Amino acid sequence: MKFFADTAEIADIKELAATGLLDGVTTNPSLIMKSGRDFIEVTKEICGIVDGPVSAEVVALDHDGMMKEAEKLRKIADNVCIKVPLTIDGLKTCKALTSDGTMVNVTLCFSANQALLAAKAGATFVSPFVGRHDDNGFDGMELISDIRLIFDNYDFGTEILVASVRHGIHVLQAAKIGADVMTAPPAVIRGLVKHVLTDKGIEGFLADWAKTGQTI
């Protein structure tokens, strides 16, 4: 499963990229706002740090507007992935862009039927939001299972990009189901390495090593 970081913070992206764990980055207007930086500028910098897809989201709601914004965004770098909402105009834009060889991430997916539409429109990625789905009384991971089944039934090439990931259990379940990608805040990705027994093991080894009086 590919790991994307859901952030526009350059320091976090550089840190994760240095581990070799990072396969891409997703951004959205809210994350750009939190970064306090110019949208084009920060997107270009991120594209220079990671080799994989960097999702940059349009804000227009009509097809013509989305296409005009996408034209500007895809000039930033070859690894820009245009992010569009799961609406009729978004799907129309998705079809037009992917037919032209541009990567597209169809976002704000909350049903398997929506994911099916995104796949039929040729989406590179579809982003079901599991955390927000859970928040509203639904089972986010059941949604991922349904989408995986449908995509496998018809051999769709669209990758399932699990979004709105809140914790390590979401990551584990997504991997077990067979999701192609998960995107999570840097804190969630860093948290995956943590285990109390790992910490205790290191503590014990260091204590014993100190008793030897040796150095390496």
Active site residue 83: yes
3-state secondary structure at position 81: strand
Question: Which residues have CB under 8 Å from 179's CB, separation 6+?
Answer: 1, 144, 148, 160, 161, 162
Q: What angle do CA 108, 5, 195 make, to 5 degrees?
A: 115
Beta strands in 97-171 (DSSP E): 104-109, 125-128, 159-162
State how far the Cα of 23 lies from the Cα of 5, in Å rounded to an integer. Answer: 8
User: 76, 44 in Cβ contact below 8 A?
Assistant: yes
User: 194, 16 in Cβ contact below 8 A?
Assistant: no
State how far the Cα of 96 lies from the Cα of 125, in Å rounded to an integer. Answer: 15
66-90 burial string, b = 16+ CB within 10 Å, else e?
Answer: bbebbeebbebeebbbbbbbbbebb
Tokens of 4: 């994307």
Active-site residue (options: 83, 95, 120, 176) = 83
- Residues labelled as active-site residues: 83
